[in-house]
Amino acid sequence: MLNVHLIPHTHDDVGWLKTVDQYYYGDRNDIQHAGVQYILDSVVDQLLKNPDRRFIYVETAFFYRWWRQQSSDMQQTVKQLVNQGRLEFVNGGWCMSDEATTHYSAVIDQMTMGLRFLNETFGTCGRPRVAWHIDPFGHAREHASMFAQMGYDGFFFGRLDYQDRSHRMVGKDQELLWRASDSLAPPVADLFTGILPNGYNPPEGFCWDQSCDDPPIRDDPDLEDYNVDDVVNRFLAIANSQALVYKTNHIVMTMGSDFQYENANLWYKNLDKLIRYVNARQANGTKVNVLYSTPSCYLQELHQANLTWALKADDFFPYADNAHNFWTGYFTSRPALKRYERLSNSHLQTCNQLEVLGGAVSRKGPFGDGDSQTMKKAMAVAQHHDAVSGTEKQHVANDYARRLATGWRRCQVVVSNSLAALSGSSAERVYCDNLNISVCPLTESSNKFSVNVYNPLARPVTWPVRLPVNGTAYTISDANGKLVDCQVVPVSNATRQVRKHRGFAINELVFQVQAPPLGYSTYSVSLLQKGPPPASTQRRPPPAIQNKFLRVTFDPDTGLLSSLSNLETKQTIKLTQNFYWYNASDGNNSDSNQMSGAYIFRPNSSTPFVISSTAKTESLQTPVVQEVRQWFGPWVSQVVRLHGDSRALELEWTVGPLPIDDSLGKEVITRLDTSIKSSGVFYTDSNGREVLQRRKDFRPTWTLKQTEPIAGNYYPINSRAYIKDDVDQLTVVTDRSQGGGSIHNGSLEIMLHRRLLYDDVRGVGEPLNETSAVFPEGLVVRGRLLLALNLPASAADTHRPLAQEEVLQPLLTFTDGELHPNAKLEFSGLQAALPPAVHLLTLTQWDRDSVLLRLEHQYQTWESKQHAHPVTVNLQKLFSTLEVLGVSELNLSANQWKEEMTRFEWTPQTGEKPLPKRPGDPSIWEVTLTPMQIRTFLLRVSRR
């Protein structure tokens, strides 16, 4: 008997063509008819009418809004439906996150938030057993690893490369076991993965939503157009044909789609009939049984089949739905929003930590009432697969950014209250969010101020600070009163152009600060009346700039980089870097009419246009910082910057407004060309964690027919990418998610900005053509790449901490005037720095007396002789101001006790048995982390 599991579902984007609130209320139906509150109303009503009916719900951001508006009677009814398994939550995060452009820490946070609500509202019956990513545009290995560690039994998705699908259909491998880590011992990161047959839509001809026009089942023989036999025959044909490409006698059909079930009666009335009439045929000998089902019921049947499954160890990028349609543009789309989201994550983690360290006064203190919850929700919504991905309409992108800004304002109150409590000074604190364009009204006008540097990392950090000033000389003293080297340099023309009328500083004050782990240090700055003049710039590039670690040379004729040397390891590579643009396809092409758009990258030619083969330069050489400022044209400039004691070279790029007066869409890249013999191989990270090998024109699990030589070789770069040979490794650490590739040997290219004139016909209905009030001519984007040259065996020892510093940056706050004489100028929330291999991923208030702590081993097993070993941390000796009274370990998403988490076991076709469990911790307080392991603890604490 073939069992057909019908899964009634709705796919509710947490923002896309409309904002999240417009979708919830059903507002702006002129854009798209969709109202989530009515969907939930209607589904619950219809479930009650027939106990056989089932429904699954996914997006907790919407369900939470709806739940709060229900009467207690209705809440009881819904709890009953959940307890009976008739309404089942799947996935259960705040949203269905994007997989290419999200950072793992923000994904863990949004999943934790959604699952916590379900846990506290419905208990164990509300806990989703299945991860469900039916719409994201390609699938990341790190997501599968996280889902496995969150306790999911399996994972279903809808989209994969068209060639990959054809190949899997032939081998009946559309259901497989995904081994999602090369460092965690199986089956810790193994995840059963199923690929749905129709994306997430119903089979053709069987859509009975009000948004569809398929004929209903007309089953009264006395009325016109009786069609039961026709419907049943068509259904049996589809079911039998689908069964040929799946392994078991159970198959699945998704009965629903975007924002469907607003009038659930239409769907359920026809599904009831479909089930009845198809099953009635069994009396005549058909071997098809149809039932209402859910993903977890279907998964249970697959598990009971007791088969072996193909093993996969790579990922599902890039995704193409046809020969010329690679969804690799969104890796870079809306670069300013992508950076703002990453910065907001850093702000949120700092806010969470200071809420814990400052205690109750941080939420209610001298600066008023603050909260971290608003920012948590804003960040959670931003992880959605049409948010940080850049694939939403412009007004929706604006809404995501506005939410983040509102959340940060609420968090600033928490931060100010907490720092006041920790330092004993309640002087007003000022936040300067536009320091990257040299804007900060306080530092521009004040003769005496202090800078508080809070470091959210669990190890001390050294960080370069640049403040906009109008004086020419300053003295700076640290928390111990010691003088700090500093330098005044002129603001560059590029910065003046990009900041416009928002700031008026003529100079920048540059110095290095140091801050203790999970703590702050305070620096006092005073204007000198009679000091040396600011550093002056030279018109031509110097032959080289260098510090004690790095040396960089420039070509005197072109002004471009020519080499990079690591002075510690005595390595040198040839290195040139320049900016180019691909001409975006407008769809008028004999191969295909596909245009480049928010989702899809499709260049007209494999050869990009160089913006300028030479750069006009100005250079600055001071003991604190050395800069070569390169000007490539009116819309591209860069600063090559080397700080006094940095092991990384900084490239600060400014791109925009991209000119479109020639009616050509532009996709701007920077390309690094080196002497490294990389043989078509490069490496990218997955969601900021494990690194995967990429090979040009190659896919590990099938023989690729390459049809787009550039776009088909682009991969998501979340925090780093590198190329290497036997002797040299060049790693690029990015400040946001970007797309990139290695198209030529020894070369690495990264897409920085895109501006397009056509919609790519994937539903967003708008060209990606960003402008703003400040930049009506087109968006200007600024960012930085950090370059490190190392020996391949030890490169991770540099790039791991470097990337963590980029993600969790120190937060600067400013206070005008003299410091309070008794103020505490330095503080660390830790008794000692954590070992170098350990990263403190989460420290956040859970409830009144407990905090959630996540510790992570940040190295893969193979990438560091020095650090890729187990490390033990004592939880009682962790915090300086908190006493840990009790500890319980949770799963990654903090919705199950670790010892109670059990998952289905699956057997790969290789037939291996799971490895024996590793030895436990030395004691309840001493916890051991193995490479790439994240451990989550609920700590009961009191203040010392």
Give the C-alpha separation, 195 to 202, whole Å: 14
Distance CA(252)–CA(275), nearest Å, equals 14
Q: Which of 13, 98, 109, 135 is catalytic?
A: 135
Question: For residues 94 and 59, what is the distance between their CA atoms, to the nearest angstrom?
Answer: 6
The SS3 call for residue 814 is strand
Strand order in the sheet with 461-469: 461-469, 507-515, 486-490
- Residue pair 412/350 in contact (Cβ under 8 Å)? The answer is no
Residue showing tokens 């934790």: 112
Q: Are strands 190-195 and 154-157 parallel, antiparallel or unpaired?
A: parallel
User: For tokens 């699990």, what's the residue?
Assistant: 701
Q: In this structure, is the dihedral angle defined by the CA atoms of residues 278, 280, 282 and 286, taken in order, positive or negative?
A: negative
Q: Is 902 helix (H, G, I), strand (E, B) or coil?
A: coil
Q: Write the CB contacts of 809 (distance below 8 Å, at least 6 apart in sequence).
A: 343, 346, 456, 463
255 and 8 Cβ atoms separated by less than 8 Å:
yes
Question: 758 and 595 in contact (C-beta within 8 Å)?
Answer: yes
Counting DSSP H helices and E strands in the chain, the numbers are: 16, 48
Q: What's at 191, amino acid-wise? A: L
Q: Quick check: 526 and 448 in contact, CB under 8 A?
A: yes
Structure tokens at 211: 């948004």
Let me know: does 354 contact 419? Beta carbons within 8 Å.
yes
What type of residue is 421?
A
> Do 602 and 324 form a contact (C-beta atoms < 8 A)?
yes
Between the CA atoms of 729, 734, 739 and 745, what dihedral angle is there, to the nearest 10 degrees?
-20
Phi and psi at residue 579, in whole multiples of 5°? -115, 140
Closest CA to 685 of 379, 932, 321: 932
> Exposure pattern of 85-105 as b/e (b: 16+ CB <10 Å)?
ebbbbbbbbbbbbbbbbbbbb
CB-based burial of residue 613 (10 Å sphere; 0-12 exposed, 13-18 middle, 19+ buried)? exposed
| Cα-based torsion angle of the residue sequence 409, 413, 416, 422 in order, rounded to the nearest 10 degrees | -140
| Both structure tokens of 666 | 């532009």
Amino acid at 850: S
Tokens (6 digits) for 510: 């540059």
Terminal alpha carbon distance of the chain: 66
Q: If we measure between CA atoms, which residue out of 644, 635, 681 comes closest to residue 662?
A: 635
On whether the CB atoms of residues 709 and 741 are closer than 8 A, the answer is: no
Strands 625-633 and 616-621: antiparallel
Q: Which residue from 46, 126, 43, 39 is spatially nearest to 91, judged by alpha carbons?
A: 126
135 classed as catalytic: yes
Packing angle, helices 335-358 and 104-122, rounded to 10:
60
Query: What's the Rg (C-alpha) of the chain?
Result: 29
Residue 550, SS3 per DSSP:
strand
Q: Whole-angstrom Cα distance, residue 396 to residue 381?
A: 12
Longest dimension (CA), the chain: 102
User: What are phi and psi for residue 920, nearest 5 degrees?
Assistant: -80, -165
Q: Show which residues are catalytic.
A: 135
